[in-house]
Structure 1
Amino acid sequence: MRGRRPGRLRLPSLLRACGNRGDVRTGESLHAVAVVSSLDDDVFVISSLIDMYSRCGLGRGARKAFGEARERDTVVWNSMIAGYSRLGLPFDATRVFVAMAVAGPQPDLTSWNSLIAAFSSRGLLRNAAYFFNSMELYGLKPDVFSWTSLIAGLVRDFRVEQAMETFRRMVVVDGTRPRSATISALLPACSLLADLRRGTALHALSVVVGVEEDVHVGSALLDMYSKCGSLEEAVKVFEKMPERSTISWNSMIFCYANNGTPSEALALYGEMKKAGAEPDHLTFMALLTACSHGGLVELGLAFFRAIQRERKITPRVEHYACLVDLLGRAGQVCRAKEVVKEMPLAPDRFVWGALLGACRMHGEVETAAMAAAQLARLSSERRGSCLLMSDIFVGFGRWEDAGRMKMLSKGRGLRGLPGCSWVTTS
């Protein structure tokens, strides 16, 4: 650190900036400055250190800052609970919560909300509901953040109707006014069901409560309209946005890519660059998807090379899945197989699924068998992979192999889940 040392008022804001950027090196330097300046016992500095380390994914650093605190007020305790929540450690958050209740100040609304969010984000919804329902026993009423955490967890767990009912209870029964985070958490439920009626109702509600222009609400609306097949409405939402973040641009590029208009997706990427928005890993996923749907193999390959060379972004397994899909759709199954073989990351079920789909489309039965075996190894629903291979063998008249795959699924005692579908009625 050069120049004058930051004081107790400036240091927390600098630590917060480091946490938001994931800049742990500068954060550790600021921690050293706090120690040298005897500010490491200031409660605001301590809570900022805990927040910075947890945002950077360093639980050990957060625990050390908390453990060395000579004085712990409500803010310090809550910072540690929120830190564990952010790190995906709900039971560690619970231990701090209990210790706070026993030895420190009584947990407040922020403490409870952090705990509910910790369990909800990990899919432990029974635990989240337990703490949510226990709040009133301790004289606290759930607020919009409590409700939103519960709703978001239900949506992530595909419990869509329960999420909708919880939202109804929040607004109609409890009288809590939704915020932008609530609506953006619930809109993906409409996307999952392609439920345009309820999605449009949430859009109208976002206008009523004044959050339609929020960037997260706007992006969720784009995704909802896209998955409901209403590209025209998605375009209207995008054009009305007063401010467009990278998230907004990505959402609209995905809309075009997934709705059969790859040329518009590519044109929008050009506009994104002109506007000065910084492409990220999701931008390139959207571009690869557009190229895949448009049969633009060479352009897709150029985008894939640009990820690392020009944007200094390390390709993720999702990018490789898009690349395999791009080559597979174009009939270049051998090339797609080589990509899977040479990729530096372990292929996941989406990569193997893309290769299997390409083999099925273009009659590469031997490669399909290999991909299906890998998919069965990774997937919890192994029966689906066995039956898919059976269908592929039937398509090529290999009746003995098809029968063998069906017998294999039965012999392993694998049972398929009953099929279901949603029908929206007016």
Structure 2
Amino acid sequence: MNPNGRRGVELMCTGATSNSSWMKQLTSASRQGRHGRVLHLFFTSLRPGDRGAADTHPAAIPTALRACARLGDASSGRLIHGLVLTRFPSLASDAVAATALLDMYAKCGLVASARRVFDEMPRHDDLVAWNALLAGYARHGLPERALTLAIKMRGQGLRPDLVTWNAVVSGFALAGDDQMAGDLVRAMQDDGFQPDVVTWTSLVSGSVLNFHYDRARALFRRMVAAGNRVLPSSATIASILPAFANVTDVKRGKEVHAYAVVTGVEQNLTVSSALVDMYAKCGLVLKAHRLFDKMAERSSVTWNSMIFGLANYGHCQEAIGLFDRMLCDGARPDHLTFTAVLTACSYCGMVELGEGLYRAMKEEHGIEPRLEHYACMVHLLGRAGKVAEAYDFIRAMPLEPDCFVWGALLGACRSHGNVKLAELAASRLRTVEPANAANCLLFSDALASAGRQDDVVKMKRLAKRRRIKKLDGCSWLESP
């Protein structure tokens, strides 16, 4: 085909086919970020009787693959790969199509498949292809392999560019290896590249994801202090906000919010969603709700943050009402949405509604229950005093109960004086979470409530023998 250039596919599409309204719709949808629409148009064209549409537009293949990559839709990507092999075999050796295929697999987490596509490419002098594979390794927890690939790239006469360096730095930052990430930034500078906004955002994001909040805040301050040389982007601001939400540092969170307003990115979807999440987690639910209502567009993350915030701070009816509003607006709930709304049902004692939502989650929305949903249901039944039903629910679970499921049952038994089931739950917890002192305390409280002081003493002796230590009380103190 045309492995030497990156415009092989485009050159095939000149002439009458360039005026195809179908191709124009596909390209327009791609540019607008409507990736689901891209795939709908692409696969509709392949129905029996409509074969000609795709055959006259081989350039649609990379466009459709890029849509799969953005959506993380590996299944559709595999179908398109099969289509390339059977109907457009010449595209397999085209630089544009092969790189799009490689990138799709890498972004979907199928790095082994991405590597096979890379190895089958006729030439390995395309920096874009190297960077796509390298970024796949970095993004999916294999930073050492990304670094090895970057070294190999240089050995084959290709000089890493800023994209290469940023991918490797990001890989180690996401893995929580701050020292290696910092060493790579210095090596990047020695190689003639200055850290840009992507570099800084990767460092900040990696620190936050690994709970290194002090480092994340220090990095953000250094970035802002650099002035116009490197300005935080919407992605940087969205990345740093969780560092304030998790320690309820509202003052500094508000300062970042003010910075987002001044720089004009407050209405960016990822930024506004992160702001809603921060204020909701800090307990400023009304502030979060005002921001939520001002948003022109909302993602499932935004809805979930607001529902969780309302539920966790006692506004359970409002949380359930917001869930209904979400459905009316046509937004698609996910597993976190149902965790949030089931939590709200539990806190306000709405057992029948919670049970109905649990059934609807699978039957109407096609979401398989996870352990967090089972824990919510046990909590819901237990808080309502239906401790025996909660235990029956656990026994019927298709998954092995974890510490949260048994902990919810133990807490319900403590509250409602069911010592027999409390003993069983405590026994299971000692197996799955032997070092957690909170479980011993809950069981001791259940025994004390039942007047079994001798057993309370035995529990304390057992905890002492096993060296189970209760954590000291603490609070966050932030330096000015």
TM-score (norm 2): 0.82
1:312 counterpart = 2:363: no
Q: Which of 367, 380, 383 is residue 329 of structure 1 equivalent to? A: 383
1:37 counterpart = 2:97: no
Please give the alpha-carbon distance, in whole angstroms, between the structure 2 residues aligned to 1:108 and 1:380. Answer: 50
Deviation at 1:378, TM superposition (A): 3.5
Query: Could you tell me which residue of structure 1 aligns to residue 397 of structure 2?
Result: 343
Please give the alpha-carbon distance, in whole angstroms, between the structure 2 residues aligned to 1:375 and 1:103. Answer: 55
Query: Could you tell me which residue of structure 2 aligns to residue 100 of structure 1?
Result: 153
- Residue deviations 1:112-135 (CA, integer Å, cap 9, x gap): 222222233333333333323432
Q: Which of 121, 143, 146 is residue 199 of structure 2 equivalent to? A: 146
Deviation at 1:424, TM superposition (A): 5.6
Per the alignment, do residues 138 and 385 of structure 1 end up closer, same or farther by CA in structure 2, a change over 3 Å counting? farther
Query: Could you tell me which residue of structure 2 aligns to residue 191 of structure 1?
Result: 245
Pairing of 1:7-406 with structure 2 (within 5 A): 7=57, 9-35=59-85, 36-72=88-124, 73-173=126-226, 175-379=229-433, 381-406=435-460
Query: Could you tell me which residue of structure 1 aligns to residue 18 of structure 2?
Result: none
Deviation at 1:413, TM superposition (A): 4.1
Deviation at 1:289, TM superposition (A): 1.3
Deviation at 1:392, TM superposition (A): 4.1
Native 8 Å contact 2:257 2:266 kept in 1: yes
Native 8 Å contact 1:187 1:202 kept in 2: yes
Native 8 Å contact 1:387 1:409 kept in 2: no
SS in 2 for 1:420: coil
Deviation at 1:295, TM superposition (A): 0.8
Please give the alpha-carbon distance, in whole angstroms, between the structure 2 residues aligned to 1:350 and 1:6. Answer: 56
Native 8 Å contact 1:5 1:33 kept in 2: no
Native 8 Å contact 2:111 2:133 kept in 1: no
Tell me which amino acid in the other structure corresponds to 2:94: D
Per the alignment, do residues 411 and 380 of structure 1 end up closer, same or farther by CA in structure 2, a change over 3 Å counting? closer
- Residue deviations 1:208-237 (CA, integer Å, cap 9, x gap): 111111112112111211122211111110
Deviation at 1:357, TM superposition (A): 2.2
SS in 1 for 2:92: coil
Larger radius of gyration: 2
- Residue deviations 1:292-337 (CA, integer Å, cap 9, x gap): 1111010000000001111111112221121122112212122222
Q: How many residues align?
A: 426
TM-score (norm 1): 0.91
Please give the alpha-carbon distance, in whole angstroms, between the structure 1 residues aligned to 2:115 and 2:257. Answer: 42
Query: Could you tell me which residue of structure 2 aligns to residue 5 of structure 1?
Result: 55
Deviation at 1:415, TM superposition (A): 4.7
Per the alignment, do residues 102 and 314 of structure 1 end up closer, same or farther by CA in structure 2, a change over 3 Å counting? same
Deviation at 1:167, TM superposition (A): 0.9
Please give the alpha-carbon distance, in whole angstroms, between the structure 1 residues aligned to 2:67 and 2:344. Answer: 35
Please give the alpha-carbon distance, in whole angstroms, between the structure 1 residues aligned to 2:203 and 2:288. Answer: 27
SS in 1 for 2:392: helix
Please give the alpha-carbon distance, in whole angstroms, between the structure 2 residues aligned to 1:89 and 1:312. Answer: 32
Please give the alpha-carbon distance, in whole angstroms, between the structure 2 residues aligned to 1:123 and 1:183. Answer: 19
Per the alignment, do residues 363 and 246 of structure 1 end up closer, same or farther by CA in structure 2, a change over 3 Å counting? same
- Residue deviations 1:31-59 (CA, integer Å, cap 9, x gap): 23334431122222222112222333323
Deviation at 1:6, TM superposition (A): 6.5
Native 8 Å contact 2:307 2:320 kept in 1: yes
Unaligned runs of 5+ in 2: 1-45
Please give the alpha-carbon distance, in whole angstroms, between the structure 1 residues aligned to 2:264 and 2:430. Answer: 48
Please give the alpha-carbon distance, in whole angstroms, between the structure 1 residues aligned to 2:386 and 2:467. Answer: 36
Q: CA RMSD in A?
A: 2.4
Identity rate of aligned residues, in percent? 45
Please give the alpha-carbon distance, in whole angstroms, between the structure 2 residues aligned to 1:167 and 1:411. Answer: 46
Please give the alpha-carbon distance, in whole angstroms, between the structure 2 residues aligned to 1:167 and 1:364. Answer: 51
Unaligned runs of 5+ in 1: none
Deviation at 1:169, TM superposition (A): 1.1
